[in-house]
Amino acid sequence: MVDPDGVYIAQLPQDDGEKLAERRGITLINEDIRCYKANGVGVDLNRQYPALWALKENEINYPASERYKGKKPASEPEVTAVIKLCQKSTFLFGISFHSKGEIIFWADSNTGPDIKYAKPLAQALSKVSTYALMPPSQDPEYFAAGFENWFRQDFLKPGILVELTPGNDTCVPHDMKNFYALVWDKAQTMVAEMMQFAYDNMIKR
């Protein structure tokens, strides 16, 4: 979890969340506090990474519960912490898990579709989960400044985004009592598949 403050806010009672946002000068784009997507100061961390950041859609340019990308890339401590961790480590690939869609993104027009192992790894994850494999993303306004986009750009290694759970036309999270039916039944073998793929294709060879 890379946004503990944002998760905490999203789990507050509605009145408490509204008061906290008001106190910190954060505009609630969606009034339901369960839809909160930013960090504790109103910056959307998945729009913060230095990968075509300037091209990212910028309709909201003030601290908000979502879609504010900040004044500059990597301005937030959560993002700089992840960047430093990746820079000092020798990760074979980066995988980020988001909350809705049952789809997998694995390439974009910034780095192209030819990063070694990216598509085969994405295909392996798609097969075990039955999540749909998406074509390479083309519009930087949509894909830029995400973690996986930055990881691919800076390391030329697979960076993959997995959207867990079915979409349901609302930003409200699914009820946790449905976790096994909506997440575990399809996604439970994904981490094991990543490890096996890495061993068979990137380590053993």
Phi, psi (degrees; rounded to nearest 5) at 156: 50, 40
Q: In 137-189, where does DSSP find H-type helix? A: 140-143, 147-155, 179, 185-187
How much is the pLDDT for 169?
87
Does the pLDDT of residue 87 top 70, yes or no? yes
Average pLDDT over residues 44-68: 97
Domain ranges of the chain: 1-89, 90-205
Taking the alpha carbons at both ends of the chain, their separation in whole angstroms is 32
Does the predicted TM-score (pTM) go above 0.75? Answer: yes
E strand segments, the chain: 94-98, 103-105, 132-133, 159-163
